[in-house]
Homo-oligomer: A and B are copies of this chain.
Amino acid sequence: MALNDYNKEDKVLLALDCIIFGFDHEGLKILLIKRDFEPERGKWSLIGGFLKEEETLDQAAIRVLHRLTGLDNIFMEQLYTFSKIDRDPVERTLSVAYYALIDIASHDEKLIQKFSAKWFSLKELPNLIFDHDQMLEKAIARLRRRARSKPIGFELLPEKFTMPQLQKLYESILDEKLDKRNFISRVNALKILIKLDQKDMQVSKKGAYLYRFDEKKYHQKVLEGFSFKI
């Protein structure tokens, strides 16, 4: 009986790298850690680690992210598997990139202090190791495509947020200015926001009304396959 001989096949190291996008009043950022081991010790890197034999990629991504940043309960999505021959100088390693969107303010403290992780503005990135810049590029492209086709505020904003904040989020993802009135009417047309009787007085003198997502309506819309075109 011809059993395919799995033993003859090569095994490889499989790494994971997490691209964590965050948003705060300054704009869109990503989370990097300072490597404390060779190669490239001391350089900034995506949050990465190796897959263990007995876990799925999704599980590994969660584990790696948690171990290096303390972050928990983050929904990550698989992006792409990178396989250039010499991408890791030590040994042949492939890496599966994952990405996630989070609100910086509601996770901040733990991170920056305990771990050597730090948020970087997309405009002021340090050099990244290996092929991490390519990973980031692909992640940004995906994020933009997503932002143009479905609302993504959910993950990146705090529970309560203002319209100007939501607009700034979109502007910083898409890297273009949007018209205030058109933006608002498009968002309102979706009917997935609830306007609160509260204002945020932090940013402007006049203050801006706070909103929150109506999760139920949002999920219903998702099922109906709605689209959000910006």
Binding site for B on A (CB under 8 A): 1-4, 6, 9-14, 36-39, 41, 50-58, 78, 80-81, 83-85, 90-94, 96
Instruction: From known contacts A9-B13, A11-B12, infer whether A83 and B58 are also in contact, taking CB-CB under 8 Å.
Output: yes
Instruction: From known contacts A9-B13, A10-B51, A80-B78, infer whether A3 and B38 are also in contact, taking CB-CB under 8 Å.
Output: yes
Instruction: From known contacts A2-B37, A14-B14, infer whether A50 and B9 are also in contact, taking CB-CB under 8 Å.
Output: yes
- The contact of A41 among B2, B36, B41, by CB within 8 Å, is B2
- The contact of A94 among B1, B36, B57, by CB within 8 Å, is B57
Interface of A is mostly: loop
Kindly report how many copies of this chain are found in the complex they form together: 2
Nearest-neighbour CB distance to chain B for A191, whole angstroms, equals 23
Nearest-neighbour CB distance to chain B for A150, whole angstroms, equals 12
Pairwise interchain contact A92-B41, C-beta atoms closer than 8 A? no
A83 to B55, CA, bound (A): 8
- The contact of A83 among B2, B10, B11, B56, by CB within 8 Å, is B56
A91 to B10, CA, bound (A): 13
